[in-house]
Chains A and B, each alone.
Chain A
Amino acid sequence: MSEKGEVDLTGAKQNTGVWLVKVPKYLSQQWAKASGRGEVGKLRIGKNQGKAEVEFTLNEDLTMIDSLGNKPSGVQAPRDHPFTMQTVGGQTLAVFTETQSERISLEGLVVQRAECRPAVSENYMKLKRLQIEELSKPVRLSQQLEKAVTTNYKPVANHSYNLEYDRKKKEEGKRARVDKQQVLDMLFSAFEKHQYYNIKDLVDITKQPVSYLKEILRDIGIYNVKGTHKNTWELKPEYRHYQGGEEEEKETDD
């Protein structure tokens, strides 16, 4: 019984209500620094003359703001954050979770939306200023160099790469012709893997000189000039035996 994909609907059935709260970036950063059980602050819900008032107070120890590079700046995060309550409206917002094992479960429905706003204070202004300063720094920087850079490209008599290539060529030598039968065997096994081959690839595979190889190919194969497989060689139909293909494979007797 595959569990995957099956959504656990307990949250929906119990009509669990949750709040969706929009929290400023700096505050969520501070919360990420929480230690222990993760206590970050206190939420005070009050009823003041019929209107609900909700306020969040950040814990003292989480008010140190780190600027870029994790240095403590002189700025402190504001502590008081009244929540602005909003209705969900007609929209149905459900909350679902996904575990690493890909189990999906419905946690509940959003019954209240809120925005966490910082209470305007001196601290907050400083914080904002810090943020703006950091953002206004240009991403790219033009810097004048005192000395020209000379370490990259130097003229060389012959590149090392070229030297290696020449050496390799000499070592391999010209390709030698082997028996026609052997070449045919190699070709047939190659064509078993793919239907179309470039002449260069065949030369690589068989290590035969081009003209000799072409002679053999003219015997058993055809050269596609047009179509999708342009300039490729393939076996003649009577030699082919592909899955879903037609004729029987015939072995050439030489």
Chain B
Amino acid sequence: MASLGGSSSSSTEYIVRVPKNTSKKYSIMAFNSGDKVNCSSWTQARMERDMSNRRMYGVEETEEGAAGSEFGKKQREEARRKKFGIVTREFKVEDQPWILKVNGKAGKRFKGTKKGGITENASYYIFTQCPDGAFEAFPVNGWYNFVPQAKHRTLTAEEAEEEWGRRNKVVNHFSIMLQRRLREQERGPDDDDEEGEKGGKKKKKKGGRGGDLRIHDLEDDLELSSDESDSSGGEDGDSKPKKKEGDVKGKGKKKKKKRGSDSEANEDSDDGDFEGLEVDYMSDESSSEEEVGEEKAKSNKEAVPKGIDEASESEEESEEEKQNEEEGKEEEEEEEGKKTPVQTKKKRDSSGESDTSEDSDIDGEAASALFMKKRTPPKRGGGRGSGGSSRTGSRPGTPSIDSTSTSNTLRAAASKLEQGKRQVVGGSSESPAAKRLKMESSSTAVTTQSPAPSGKSTPQPPSGKSTPSSSDVQLTEEAVRRYLIRKPMTTKDLLKKFQTKRTGLSSEQTVNVLAQILKRLNPERKNVNDKMHFYLTE
């Protein structure tokens, strides 16, 4: 190769070839610098054209075949379009975007859109060096800009506007996406993957506030169905974190989702309901509860309520209160990576097993609800630690903050749960619960808390909790009897009567006590509007 003279300059010459008739078409795959894409780290990749725009250009296919079709419809449609001068652009496959999936299903996804106009004024060539030292130049056929596709849930424009309006009230943004997911679950159960991933991420992101710490005018509310996000914030601020953790264990999200969606719908009406009006039927809420309860009671993944069932009814009752919790749990589950639905099922089942009568169902429900509540706080800490998803970056501060702030509440909530649980649930349900509790407890940072609940293996005598401390309204057997004699009521209605504000009990306690009272009273049941009502004839 020629070398020129000159002290500090030297050069080498290479031959440049432009191969003809190459069967390969070269294209550029451009990534944004901020995405930090390292191609050499890819183990495997799949790329295909994104054909989702085909129907835009093709004719919208209405039903073929006999039913619903018209004779000559196609021709008529085409003639009509021509008359109006509608010109649909041809669907060209080479212009369609690429979908690139790296490292399999769990890896990244990119969408590459073609950049126009690169071959208009100048041509791009790729120069590669051949083994013989010559350069070969290949013309670039297309330039595609690849952007990573978000796997986490994002809000649509309408939803974003809604949330914007509530920005002053909502502290925990984690629940926003949760609710959205719950709503979607109802529509179509195929979000599992996303939820799972999202869940994992969310954990890191939100930290454990659990549901929304919503600022409410009316603070307590067992029955606020909208609690998925809100009310739980109030008193259940504690329970929320717990719930979260419980969720992570993997409950049947589907069930929860359904409930969530219902509650979501009921949110607006809750304020009014909450006022403690003597209303005959809180149909909305009850039904939502029922559905919710049913789902929960049944198999894990079935989102379809299984019809009216005692178990489900009782479930709803207690669930109404626990809705927040459970929704929170669902959210957590989904967001945090949905573990086995078995977990939830186990919970439900255990409560189911121990319950033979409706009363015990309620207890079971309450127990499971409590149980779940309890699980969540300890789990939260653990879950967060193990969450470890790419979301870490987005909310660096939250995890640590959450664990510290909720440690006290965790402790308090856990002890309450422990007590409540011990009272109402029989032996069978306790062991799995206790075990789980132990696992969770141990995984959290709340080490002091763990010995206490796990240490409490002997059930406390129910009598300890049977006389509630109350200020205005006593949650007594007498009171319940009076109500039930007067008219048939659902458990939800009953709970409404004994609001935590008035009785001074927490929601969990109220549920427990009410469950016991109902067990003692053994009222008759009747189905009204697909809801189980209790009544007494004296």
Contact = CB atoms under 8 A, between A and B. Distances in A.
A31 B68 contact: no
Interface in B227-257: none
Interface in B101-152: 121-128, 135, 137, 139-140
Contacts of B66: 191-195, 242-243
Interface in B48-107: 48, 65-73, 100
Nearest to A30: B18
Contacts of A42: 13-16
A197 B126 contact: no
B126 A19 contact: yes
A25 B121 contact: yes
Q: Is the interface of B mostly helix, strand, loop or mixed?
A: strand
A186 interface: no
A94 interface: yes
Contacts of B100: 7
A12 B42 contact: yes
A100 interface: yes
A185 B67 CA distance: 18
Nearest to B72: A201
B33 interface: yes
Contacts of A49: 8-9
Given A25-B123, A243-B65, A92 B33 contact: yes
B529 interface: no
A213 interface: no
Given A91-B33, A107-B126, A242-B66, A43 B44 contact: no
Nearest to A201: B71
A195 B44 CA distance: 50
B40 interface: yes
Contacts of A16: 128
B126 to A, nearest CB: 5
B11 interface: yes
B47 A107 contact: no
A169 B31 CA distance: 68
- Interface footprint category on B: 35 or more
Interface string A13-54: 101101111111100100110100111111111111110010
B17 interface: yes
A41 B134 CA distance: 11
A46 B125 contact: no
Q: Taking each of B37, B69, B126, which has the highest tally of chain A beta carbons within 10 Å of its own beta carbon?
A: B126
Interface stretch (B21-29, B295-303, B330-338): B21-29
B16 A40 contact: yes
Given A92-B31, A93-B30, A44 B37 contact: no
Contacts of B73: 194
B47 A7 contact: yes
B168 interface: no
Given A56-B16, A94-B28, A242 B10 contact: no
A42 B135 CA distance: 9
A90 B33 contact: yes
A104 B14 contact: no
A216 to B, nearest CB: 17
A84 interface: no
A23 B17 contact: no
A28 B137 CA distance: 10
B20 interface: yes
Nearest to B25: A98
B71 A25 contact: no
A94 B24 CA distance: 15
A21 B124 contact: yes
A46 B39 contact: no
Given A24-B122, A243-B66, A18 B128 contact: yes
A205 B16 CA distance: 69
A34 B47 contact: no
B156 interface: no
B463 interface: no
B165 interface: no
Contact of A89 (B20, B33, B69, B121): B33
B279 interface: no
B528 interface: no
B39 A12 contact: yes
Given A44-B11, A46-B12, A191-B66, A12 B40 contact: yes
Contacts of B24: 97-99
Contacts of A197: 70-71
A23 B122 contact: yes
Interface in A88-137: 89-100, 104, 106-110
A100 B23 contact: yes
Interface in B135-180: 135, 137, 139-140
Give the top 10 A-B pairs by smallest Cβ distance, nearest first.
A46-B11, A90-B33, A242-B67, A12-B39, A7-B45, A19-B127, A48-B9, A28-B123, A97-B24, A94-B29
9 contacts: A21-B137, A28-B125, A42-B16, A47-B9, A48-B9, A92-B35, A94-B28, A97-B27, A195-B68
Interface of A: 4-7, 9, 12-13, 15-16, 18-25, 28, 31-32, 34, 37-50, 53, 56, 89-100, 104, 106-110, 190-198, 201, 229, 232, 242-245
Given A45-B14, A107-B26, 16 more contacts: A9-B43, A9-B45, A16-B128, A20-B28, A22-B122, A25-B122, A38-B17, A42-B13, A42-B14, A42-B15, A91-B30, A92-B39, A93-B28, A194-B70, A196-B68, A196-B70
